[in-house]
Amino acid sequence: MTVLSETGVSRWIRRFHPSGGARARLVCLPHAGGSATAYFPFSRAAAEAVPDVEVVAVQYPGRQDRRGEPCFDDVGAMADAIADDLRRWADLPLALFGHSMGATVGYEVARRLEVRGTPPLGLFASACRAPSVHRIEYVHQRDDEGLIAALKELSGTDAGVFGDDELLRMVLPAVRGDYTAVETYRHRPGAEPSCPIQVLTGDRDPVTSLADAGAWHAHSTASTAVEVLPGGHFYLHEQLPRVLAVVAARLAEWRPGNPPG
């Protein structure tokens, strides 16, 4: 899908439901192995639930319409490229929503936007431990069968993909690249974002403990709040109405001219 903004074609951003009356733009970053279309249901529901917020989604290279491009295997390099592309979308105030790996990438994008003098309204960090919480993991070094097993454990991949061996083998390079990026990521000390952070996590998430989620408090000079919802690592699918309610409430607080929460 080719998407046009006012300043031309965007390699990184996909807009499924344009909003002429939007007062803010929510940039959504997918999980490891995910694509922009993972946020299509989110975007469709938000168009009704939060009509003054336009949802756009990041398309990482190495999948779907960018399948011919090499994958990024470094979070910092990916954040650099996304922050560069977001300049053309800054006609509206931007907020960031990242799920799992997307939250880590979103955090690094927020740091870069801050340095450039255009900090986001805020960051929604979903199903992701804080950047400073490091776990030694080697999923990216597994063979293909081990990588597939990891995807099944988290239940974040469309079940139909597992029944289509050709399709599954096609997406594995992107999955491996993403896992390499997130598992080799190390938080670098430096200025933290000045925007508030809203953390969302499932109460049965096998990879993000409540302590890991709470550690996001160290990564903003503004306020940080944690919302715990029923579900596992991909609680987002079942809890979409509640997530959108949190998004709407926080963006109402974060927009210029509104009182802080």
Q: Which residues are catalytic?
A: 100
Query: CB under 8 Å, gap of 24 or more: what pairs does 14-20 form?
Result: 14/56, 14/57, 14/58, 14/59, 15/54, 15/56, 15/57, 16/40, 16/43, 16/44, 16/55, 16/57, 17/43, 17/44, 17/46, 17/47, 17/54, 17/55, 18/54, 19/47, 19/51, 19/52, 19/53, 19/54
Q: Tokens for 100, please give them.
A: 């799992």
Specify which residues 8 forms β-bridges with: 5
Q: Are 175 and 33 in contact (CB under 8 A)?
A: yes
